[in-house]
Structure 1
Amino acid sequence: MKIKILTAMAFVMLFASCSDFLEQDPNTSLTEEQAFSTLKNIDPIVLGMYISWRNIQKDRGGLMFQLGTDETQQGALQVMTTPGQAGLDYYNGFLSKENTALAEQWDSRWPVVSTAAKAIFALNKNTEADIEKRKILLGEASFIRATIMFELTQYWGEIPILDETHSKELGHGRQPLKDVYAFIINDLKVAEENLPLTQKNPSFPVKYLAQALLGKVYLYAPEASGAHDYTLAKEAFAKVINSGKYNLLATYADVFSPDHANSSESLYEFQFTNDYPDNNQIQWQTGSRALANIDQYAYFGGYDLLLPTKYCYNDKTSGGIWESGDKRKDASIRYDFTYKGIVPTIPSGFGGDELDPHIKKYEDIRIDGKQSFWNSGKNKPYIRYSDVLLCYAECLNELGNTPDAEGFVNQVRKRGFGGSLPAGMEWSGLSKEQFKEQMLDERMRELAFEGWRRMDLIRSGKLVQYVKARNKWTAESGTIAEFHTRYPIPLVEIQLNDDISDADQNPGY
């Protein structure tokens, strides 16, 4: 059974990774039962889970779910040379249960979920005197299980529930959406109850992050789950807003500067540095091959895995999203590739789009002329305060309070335009439907390349319509269909998991 095999490996993998992080020798003499028997042992295992979660966000794999949207698409040479991966933009026969790029994402997450489940089970039975420490560990483990399960169910639908208390009843088969979302919500409520207000280590979550993600779960949950609830989402986001802990930085570009890592706008960001193994290689995948051809130490060089679509990089006058004066445009997207006075050209044999606009958010100038862009190591944002404000505004609009919703959006837009909104740029007097339609563009302007777009398109019911019209490769193939709102269960999972068969595959695959 595939998930069972992966979960059996989880303890060894995660305990070794946390030991490496702490610069200790891995203690391989502990059995799993011994490792989960004391808080002293569980503590580094939970740290290992967060390191593993972070590592999922690195390199090519960390960008895989951003392929195939109306915001981003693969570079031409990538599409020409990697047909399996290209299928994520083409939505053709290569987007299938045999797709290894997706299977890797599926496989990388279950060991973390499994270890979290084991830790939660052990913590609920633990009777040591340090009650406060046990509560924090329970909150941390519950949060990470909920976070990864939320991502898995958003992309695959019904998924297994790994719960040590009910493992015999649940097995490793796919569970109904209502049960999956109820389980995620319960984990986040446990996290909210037990997590502290602050943590010294920014790798660990705090109470407000659990509240924000709980709001997102209520907002993003499909109707079929029975968990979709604008009122409960609004209440969760309001807790974060009313806490007074977070605010927007004055300058949008500062949000992505290493000088402002873990700022007052950040509810959580994945922690990276410029040194292996804590670098993230994101620039390696998002920069321009034309620059890489000139200098491996050019900080905005790379290999074109992920590029903005024309819709994402063009002005409104040219059919895109950008309004005149919006400073988020140049902070998010690179248009000029001049490097040290040299204007690069595209050598023959390249894809032809290497000097089209590229992603700028992850450029790390600290490495320029010193290290290869493989060593890019800026933190990667997960949830920002601006996202909370926009989600809260959505809830207000859906609950019939569009005027107040416009006010929260205008807070975000004001910062985007440099501190004040030009005449005519405020959102005012919109209908509920106009607000909903414009919000999708506003979320792209504010949150481009931060990993939320596919989920936004799925929950709005716009994935097929917008991606077919705006993604070059999807439009070229013309094969995207409604069933593509879910990914296929990997073939190897079906082959090795006794509780998932071909009959359990998502429709269309």
Structure 2
Amino acid sequence: MKTKFIKAICCFVALGTISACSNFLDELPKTSLTEEQVFGDEENIQLLISGLYTQWRNTKQDRGGFMFTLGTDEAKQGGQQVQENNVQAALDKYSNALNAPNSSLAEQWNKRWPVVTAAAKAAYYAQSNSLKAQARFIRATINFELAMLWGPIPIIDQENMREARQPLTDVFDFIIKDLEFAAEYLEDTQSDKKIPTKGAALALLGKVYLSAPEETGFRDYERAISYFDQVIPQYALLDNYADLFNTTLNQNSSESIYAFQFINLSPDNNMAQHHAGSRAVADLDGNTYFGGYDLIMPTDYYANDQTNGGVWEPGDTRKLASIRYDFTLPDGRVPTITWTGQQDELGPHTRKFEDIRTQGVQNFWYSGGLIHYLRLADILLCKAECLNELNQTAEAIQLLNTTVRRRAFGGTIPEGYSWEGISREELRERIMDERIRELGFEGWRRMDLIRTGKLVEYVSERNPWAKAEGAIREFHNRYPIPESEIKQNDMINEEDQNPGYN
């Protein structure tokens, strides 16, 4: 978080953001302005929050948007990527390079804390509850992510600043209070889709109560359901799963609760396809929309049918909507492997980030489809999981069969695949598989594995780089606190490092 440094930078950025728009800045030299003068104007707060949406969105942009997805049982790096960057490779291998100096992780940590700090200022100084709610929603989302991946974190609150790592009970209490406030004061609908709605806050509250570590006392399946039940009637599944990722359609659909807004023009492109596509395709034609550089690829478990050791059931329409197996170019050309004999260049690739609008006119780097954060199918799966944990297994199966799974099979679930009569324990396993099929590469898998205690078991068998290295251990459920943070934050010392990384 680099607290002292970030406070200074945040004030500087805020000044730069609002200087062109605020009349009172012309009345006093910038050096004489107090923080109260800078943040005490509601127009300035509104401009600051508008900038925060871009900063928050940009944590999902480019290579960094995939760092937390690597090292799971659904995603792996391509062979060439692993050869080129030992530091990044450690996120899949769980090797000794997954340590405090790891720059790939430090970059992600450092991107998030300026947003948290600025959101805290906005939440404190904003006069309207609407702006406070927006700032607190942004702060809560990032704190939730950081706490799930790193464990105890500082609590950045202008009224009660706690810059040392705080107990997770306090952290989750703080996250929940932020989201409760957001749920009370955010609007039901927003014409500007970058602004979250009441439904987004309620959905995330449910996910927090589902995911909070049990030792915090906040894991509460009944309470999670109470929030999910407020969300579910307000949204509707699309009939066709593939439409969720079709950039020629309105992706802010009836299923979308919140999505990061991108377009296929710089600097608002997400660059996701650049990292998700095939090198062999890129080398043959840089303007083919499914080319890329193999940063993030499906594991065999995510790509294969159940008959071949994978996750896909016969007839599931999500398979071909989620994964590309055919690399024939639109003009009929067939690419060949060109990089150091890495066979995975033409192995299965995710297709969720393909942007056909770039075909023949722009490099795939300009991909700009929306990146889903919260959508109805996820919430339905979460509710089913809660029902199952509450020993309401039959109700959970019924919910899945009439919503997510029915759509997956085009409206009719094949005989033998409706899951009636299976046990609570077996449904737990199947829901985890269903979450890969429905939500693969959408950013939730690492949290799913952590909250269910399955990270080591599943990754050690299903992620090829982790399996070959044989180094993953239970302490890897948390990332190491970056060395740069320890050096620059006086309130976090080496003895505060997560176990296993000392």
Q: TM (normalized to structure 2)? A: 0.95
Partner of 1:103: 106
- The ranges of structure 1 where at least 4 consecutive aligned residues each deviate by more than 4 angstroms after the TM superposition are 14-20, 26-31
1:488 to 470, 480, 494: 480
Task: Give the partner amino acid of 1:310.
Answer: D
Deviation by residue 1:48-105 (Cα, 9 ceiling, x = unmatched): 1111000110010011000000000000000001000000001011000000000000
1:357 to 348, 352, 363: 348
1:145 to 139, 144, 166: 139
1:419 aligns with 2:411: yes
* Inter-partner Cα distance in structure 1 for 2:16 and 2:47: 10
- How far has the Cα of 1:352 moved from its partner? 2.5
Deviation by residue 1:349-378 (Cα, 9 ceiling, x = unmatched): 253310000010000000000001010000
- How far has the Cα of 1:314 moved from its partner? 0.2
Q: TM (normalized to structure 1)? A: 0.94
Q: CA RMSD in A?
A: 1.8
Structure 1 alignment gaps of length 5 or more: 127-133
* Inter-partner Cα distance in structure 2 for 1:15 and 1:466: 47
* 8 A contact 2:478–2:498 mirrored in 1: yes
Taking the TM superposition and a 5 Å limit, the aligned residue runs for 1:27-426 are 29=30, 32-123=35-126, 126=127, 134-167=128-161, 170=162, 172-241=163-232, 244-258=233-247, 259-339=249-329, 340-410=331-401, 411-426=403-418
Partner secondary structure for residue 143 of structure 1: helix
1:468 to 460, 474, 477: 460
Partner secondary structure for residue 166 of structure 1: coil
**For the structure 1 residues 438 and 264, does the alpha-carbon distance in structure 2 shift closer, same or farther, using more than 3 Å as the test?**
same
1:6 aligns with 2:6: yes
Deviation by residue 1:19-59 (Cα, 9 ceiling, x = unmatched): 99x9xxx9995764323102111111111111100011001
**For the structure 1 residues 148 and 396, does the alpha-carbon distance in structure 2 shift closer, same or farther, using more than 3 Å as the test?**
same
* Inter-partner Cα distance in structure 1 for 2:184 and 2:269: 33
- How far has the Cα of 1:10 moved from its partner? 2.3
* Inter-partner Cα distance in structure 2 for 1:15 and 1:415: 49
Task: Give the partner amino acid of 1:100.
Answer: S
Percentage of matched positions with identical amino acids = 53
* Inter-partner Cα distance in structure 2 for 1:135 and 1:90: 46
Structure 2 alignment gaps of length 5 or more: none
Partner secondary structure for residue 41 of structure 1: helix
* 8 A contact 2:70–2:77 mirrored in 1: yes
* Inter-partner Cα distance in structure 2 for 1:454 and 1:19: 40
- How far has the Cα of 1:17 moved from its partner? 6.3
Moved more, 173-182 or 8-17: 8-17
* 8 A contact 2:384–2:397 mirrored in 1: yes
**For the structure 1 residues 46 and 428, does the alpha-carbon distance in structure 2 shift closer, same or farther, using more than 3 Å as the test?**
same
* Inter-partner Cα distance in structure 2 for 1:377 and 1:136: 29
- How far has the Cα of 1:246 moved from its partner? 0.3
* 8 A contact 2:124–2:132 mirrored in 1: no
* Inter-partner Cα distance in structure 1 for 2:443 and 2:17: 25
- How far has the Cα of 1:11 moved from its partner? 3.7
* Inter-partner Cα distance in structure 1 for 2:462 and 2:323: 17
Deviation by residue 1:224-251 (Cα, 9 ceiling, x = unmatched): 211111111111111102xx32000000
Task: Give the partner amino acid of 1:288.
Answer: S
